[in-house]
């Protein structure tokens, strides 16, 4: 008996795939990559969320109620991580006497106070900029920070119910010379129990003995933050909380009613204290951080979207290619009586199998990719909180569904085309001739779409057309996207003219091979164009990023040069890490003979109209050291005791005029009235919105930290610099920069961002490469006879390979030039749109542009290696025999 299959098409589809593993690989490669980016993006953000969840649930583990002080209204907008950063948030604290009061309440099992603030470990290592064989090289102080995670100091909780921290080695701290270190920091920096370590807490670094190493909720430390844990009294002194605590943790008896206890505690001080449910608070805090992370997630998903978009182009192309190669096989099926519909279903079921295989592999690759990305970011000190990688079933399913749907949709058009092969095709050798008419229609539609995009874009730039409810930037973005779509539609129609421009050049460079290559890419303009488009997307984004960064760099340089008139600036080194510049430094500098003018800048948060506002304080010299513009009033008036200076933008937004009175709520002083004597413009990023003269106000002159220092020197030379360095070296975390260093600094930050973006965008180029390989493979396959003939009449293998390489270079030049052009144009539009915010510089780096076009061409040639070798190895006799 003969076997009978109920579903012959599914079987044929499966057999087809099993017979051609390479075919599966070519088609699925882009699905795999696209899905893997989605998965990696998801794993990445889920893992970060998870790390923060652990952090917050860990913080309140075993605790029922948390008692915290009621903050001034205006301070709440800043969240409750007070004490961080150069601007000191003067948050209210709770008197530690309250702890015993709470303990004595019925139903309270235990209560203990927590003190938390800024502290950072310091280690010593060779300077980054010096080589080990240089004896002059000093050992530099290195501030320890785990990636971008914050650094904390806190009190070691002695209550038996405090279970967050658990010693894994050593003992708890008992006196002011001892500290316990979190295990992430200890492991990362090679510290052991018994080692001495310097800790920067408050303003003065001091030396401690590590008596223990502790783990937080079974991970090294919460979210990778570094923790220096002191005994309670030491923590109060170092973390600026003498006689006070930041909050009080309460554990309630099992059989007591938590709400009754809560009310009882509230009654101690209804005005000053707030009692919250610890578990609810944990969830709330985790949520707010997660929302912040969603931004990062969005960026990753945009990259994933790009990869999938490019992938869809390529899948469609590959299907077309594979089906063309199988025209004979399909027409044979047709001749044997398979209906069009069945052929269509055959092809679609093949794509279904591929989609499933590809998406599955994509998930696997995505896991690998996320590990690589995580490690990569860590390597560049771009670390996010520590924690295990998390792949949620939802993410995996979403990735697979997107992969499958995109693949199947991309296969529909080629499948329809394949189903229309005539049963006679098997015996005929047909040559496809491009349809001119539809290319013309394409040109029309594409131009129309581009025109709409251009109108939207230029409409906002030259203010003749505004789309309602969009910001300037959004409208530019919308216009740019529409232009991009328009250009993508046009590309097939402009392939021929574009390649024709290169005809002469290629012919004179590569002779007849150049001519053959250009003719070949003109022969199938659609295919050439869609292959080039995949590359175009990547290059558009890369050159956009590129031009924006060179322009931003130029902008930064211009601003620094125009605005910083001082010889030197001193600032706290790291954004999260440092509390500011200890005021001792400005004292030492002023006493130096070499230092002439010096201005300190301080800042604090105050309340104004019930909203938080940054109040700054400066010295008179600031006006000679930083460029400011007078708007109204005079500097002399500003120097009087009741005077306040207001920045132009603040004066405009809040309708403040000269001689108006403003009332500020200052935590240390209470309500205080000032008269607006001076309205001015601070031409760089201002450190505050309102300004006072520093020496006029005690609450400012008593501050222990400066935000920034600016000063001039008598002669700016090596000797002076060395003297300055000697002083500054005693202040860890403080950096001295001159104008050039400031420019370098700004540039390197921009560059770091660019490098991360490049990393992601390279993936899209990588995907595009598969497209080029596929297209050229088809191109070579279709020209079996031609290539055979050329070999027969004496074309060397090397020449055949070169011909394929030249053809590939045409595709990549086409994609690269279109992409680069669009990217530069979009960058220009964005900068125009940012003009209001002071952006004036538009700089295209010719060198960078050429390098990237070069990379694209090089990548195109790499992608052509396999088809080129295949072409050159083609059997001559098979090609020329005619039977």
Rule CB under 8 A: which residues touch other proteins? 431, 511-513, 515-516, 519-520, 523, 785-786, 789-797, 799, 876-877, 880-882
- Residue 778 burial (CB count, 10 A): 22
CB of 815 to other proteins, least distance (A): 22
* Total residue count of the chain as it appears in this document: 883
| CB closer to other proteins, 604 vs 872 | 872
| CB closer to other proteins, 464 vs 882 | 882
CB of 365 to other proteins, least distance (A): 39
| CB closer to other proteins, 327 vs 735 | 327
DSSP letters spanning 722-780: HHHHHHHTTSTTEEEE-HHHHHHHHHHHHHHHHHHHHHHHHHHHHHHHHHHHHHHHHHH
DSSP letters spanning 26-61: HHHHHHHHHHHHHHHHHHHHHHHHHHHHHHHHHHTT
CB of 520 to other proteins, least distance (A): 7
CB of 780 to other proteins, least distance (A): 14
| CB closer to other proteins, 506 vs 839 | 506
Question: Of 305, 454, 445, nearest to 822 (Cα)?
Answer: 454
CB of 415 to other proteins, least distance (A): 29
Question: Of 390, 387, 378, nearest to 146 (Cα)?
Answer: 378
| CB closer to other proteins, 488 vs 521 | 521
CB of 526 to other proteins, least distance (A): 17
| CB closer to other proteins, 365 vs 517 | 517
* Phi-psi map region of 170: left, alpha, beta (phi>0 left; psi -120 to 50 alpha): left
Helix (H) or strand (E) holding 126: strand 116-126
CB of 417 to other proteins, least distance (A): 22
| Alpha helices per DSSP H over 326-392 | 327-335, 340-379
CB of 799 to other proteins, least distance (A): 6
Question: Of 89, 82, 261, 171, nearest to 615 (Cα)?
Answer: 89
| CB closer to other proteins, 515 vs 558 | 515
Question: Of 297, 257, 296, nearest to 277 (Cα)?
Answer: 257
| CB closer to other proteins, 164 vs 518 | 518
| CB closer to other proteins, 391 vs 513 | 513
CB of 443 to other proteins, least distance (A): 23
CB of 871 to other proteins, least distance (A): 14
Residue 54 near residue 280 (C-beta atoms within 8 A): no
| CB closer to other proteins, 70 vs 796 | 796
CA distance 206 to 238: 10
Beta-bridged to residue 606, according to DSSP, are 613
CB of 800 to other proteins, least distance (A): 10
CA distance 313 to 409: 11
DSSP letters spanning 308-327: HHHHHHHHHHHHHHHHHHTH
| CB closer to other proteins, 592 vs 789 | 789
φ, ψ of residue 670 in degrees (nearest 5) = 100, -160
CB of 516 to other proteins, least distance (A): 6
Question: Of 361, 706, 767, nearest to 535 (Cα)?
Answer: 767
- Number of continuous H segments (helices) and E segments (strands) in the chain: 27, 26
Burial of 611 (0-12, 13-18, 19+ CB in 10 A): exposed
| CB closer to other proteins, 574 vs 799 | 799
CB of 10 to other proteins, least distance (A): 35
CB of 791 to other proteins, least distance (A): 7
Burial of 41 (0-12, 13-18, 19+ CB in 10 A): buried
CB of 511 to other proteins, least distance (A): 6
| CB closer to other proteins, 719 vs 877 | 877
Residue 617 near residue 694 (C-beta atoms within 8 A): yes
| Alpha helices per DSSP H over 213-277 | 232-238, 258-266
CB of 525 to other proteins, least distance (A): 13
Q: Which residues contact 440 (CB under 8 A, 6 or more apart)?
A: 493
Helix (H) or strand (E) holding 659: none
| CB closer to other proteins, 706 vs 807 | 807
| CB closer to other proteins, 405 vs 512 | 512
CA distance 717 to 738: 12
| CB closer to other proteins, 96 vs 786 | 786
CB of 467 to other proteins, least distance (A): 47
| CB closer to other proteins, 355 vs 516 | 516
CB of 880 to other proteins, least distance (A): 5
403 three-state secondary structure: helix
DSSP letters spanning 461-515: HTTS---TT--HHHHHHHHHHHHHHHHHHHHHHHHHHHHHHHHHHHHHHHTHHHH
CA distances from 116 to 73, 227, 242, 539, 681 (A): 21, 10, 12, 48, 37
Torsion, CA 469, CA 471, CA 476, CA 478, rounded to 10: -40
How large is the angle between the packed helices 340-379 and 278-325, nearest 10 degrees? Answer: 130
| CB closer to other proteins, 336 vs 877 | 877
């Amino acid at each position: 008996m003969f076997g009978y299959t109920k579903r012959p098409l599914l079987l044929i589809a499966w057999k087809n795939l099993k017979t051609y593993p390479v075919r599966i690989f070519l088609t699925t490669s882009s699905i795999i990559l696209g899905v893997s980016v989605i998965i990696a993006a998801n794993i990445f953000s889920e893992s970060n969320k998870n790390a923060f969840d652990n952090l917050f649930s860990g913080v309140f583990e075993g605790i029922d109620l948390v008692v915290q002080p009621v903050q001034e209204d205006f301070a709440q907008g800043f969240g409750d991580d007070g004490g961080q950063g150069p601007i000191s948030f003067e948050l209210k604290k709770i008197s530690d006497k309250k702890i015993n009061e709470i303990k004595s309440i019925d139903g309270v099992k235990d209560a203990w106070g927590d003190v938390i603030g800024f502290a950072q470990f310091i280690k010593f290592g060779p300077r980054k900029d010096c080589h080990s064989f240089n004896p002059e090289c000093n050992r530099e102080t290195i501030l320890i920070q785990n990636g971008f995670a914050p650094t904390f100091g806190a009190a070691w909780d002695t209550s038996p119910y405090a279970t967050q921290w658990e010693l894994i080695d050593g003992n708890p701290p008992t006196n002011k010379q001892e500290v316990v270190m979190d295990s992430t920091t200890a492991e990362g920096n090679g510290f052991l129990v018994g080692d001495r370590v310097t800790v920067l807490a408050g303003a003065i670094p001091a030396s401690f003995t590590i008596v223990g190493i502790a783990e937080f909720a079974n991970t090294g430390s919460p979210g990778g933050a570094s923790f220096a844990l002191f005994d309670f009294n030491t923590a109060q002194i170092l973390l600026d909380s003498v006689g006070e605590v930041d909050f009080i943790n309460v554990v309630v008896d099992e059989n007591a009613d938590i709400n009754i206890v809560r009310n009882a505690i509230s009654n101690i001080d209804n005005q000053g204290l707030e009692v919250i449910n610890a578990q609810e608070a944990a969830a709330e805090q985790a949520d707010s951080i997660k929302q912040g992370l969603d931004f990062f997630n969005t960026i990753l998903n945009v990259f994933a979207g790009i990869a999938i978009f490019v992938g869809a182009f390529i899948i469609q192309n590959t299907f077309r290619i594979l089906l063309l190669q199988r025209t004979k096989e399909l027409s044979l099926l047709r001749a044997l009586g398979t209906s069009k519909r069945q052929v269509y279903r055959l092809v679609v079921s093949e794509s279904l199998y591929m989609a499933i295989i590809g998406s599955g592999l994509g998930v696997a690759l995505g896991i690998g990719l996320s590990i690589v990305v995580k490690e990569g970011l860590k390597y560049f000190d771009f670390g996010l909180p520590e924690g295990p990688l998390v792949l949620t079933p939802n993410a995996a399913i979403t990735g697979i569904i997107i992969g499958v749907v995109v693949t199947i949709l991309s296969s529909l058009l080629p499948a329809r085309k394949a189903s229309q092969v005539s049963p006679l095709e098997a015996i005929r050798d047909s040559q496809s001739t491009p349809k001119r008419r539809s290319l013309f229609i394409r040109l029309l539609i594409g131009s129309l779409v581009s025109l709409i995009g251009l109108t939207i874009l230029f409409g906002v730039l030259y203010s003749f057309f505004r789309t309602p409810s969009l910001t300037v930037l959004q409208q530019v973005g919308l216009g740019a996207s529409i232009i991009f779509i328009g250009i993508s539609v046009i590309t097939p129609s402009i392939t021929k003219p574009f390649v024709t421009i290169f005809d002469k050049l290629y012919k004179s460079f590569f002779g007849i091979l150049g001519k053959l290559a250009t003719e070949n890419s003109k022969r199938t303009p659609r295919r050439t164009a869609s292959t080039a488009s995949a590359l175009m997307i990547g290059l558009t984004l890369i050159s956009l990023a590129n031009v924006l960064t060179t322009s931003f760099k130029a902008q930064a340089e211009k601003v620094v040069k125009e605005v910083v008139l001082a010889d030197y600036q001193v600032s706290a080194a790291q954004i999260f890490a440092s509390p500011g510049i200890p005021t001792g430094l400005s004292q030492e500098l002023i006493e130096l003979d070499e230092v002439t003018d010096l201005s300190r800048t301080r800042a604090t948060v105050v309340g104004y109209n019930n909203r938080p506002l940054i109040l700054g304080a400066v010295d008179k010299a600031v006006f000679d050291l930083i460029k400011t513009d007078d708007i109204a009033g005079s500097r002399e008036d500003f120097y009087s005791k009741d005077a306040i200076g207001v920045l132009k933008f603040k004066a405009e937004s809040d309708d403040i005029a000269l001689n108006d009175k403003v009332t500020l709520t200052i935590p240390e002083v209470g309500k205080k009235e000032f008269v607006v004597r001076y309205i001015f413009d601070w031409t760089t990023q201002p450190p505050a919105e309102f300004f006072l003269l520093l020496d006029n106000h005690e609450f400012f002159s008593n501050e222990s930290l400066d935000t920034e220092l600016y000063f001039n020197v008598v002669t700016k030379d090596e000797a002076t610099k060395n003297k300055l360095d000697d002083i500054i070296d005693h202040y860890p975390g403080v950096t001295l920069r001159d104008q050039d260093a400031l420019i370098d600094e700004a540039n390197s930050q921009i560059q770091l961002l660019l490098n991360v973006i490049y990393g992601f965008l390279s993936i899209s180029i990588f995907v595009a490469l598969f497209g080029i390989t596929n297209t050229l493979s088809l191109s070579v396959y279709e020209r079996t006879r031609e290539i055979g003939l050329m070999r027969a009449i004496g074309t060397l293998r090397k020449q055949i390979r070169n011909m394929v390489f030249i053809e590939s270079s045409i595709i990549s030049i086409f994609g690269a030039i279109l992409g680069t052009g669009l990217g530069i144009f979009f960058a220009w539009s964005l900068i125009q749109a940012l003009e209001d915010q002071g952006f004036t510089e538009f700089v295209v780096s010719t060198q960078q542009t050429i390098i990237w076009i070069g990379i694209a061409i090089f990548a195109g040639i790499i992608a052509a290696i396999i088809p080129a070798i295949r072409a050159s190895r083609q059997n001559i006799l098979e090609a020329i025999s005619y039977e």
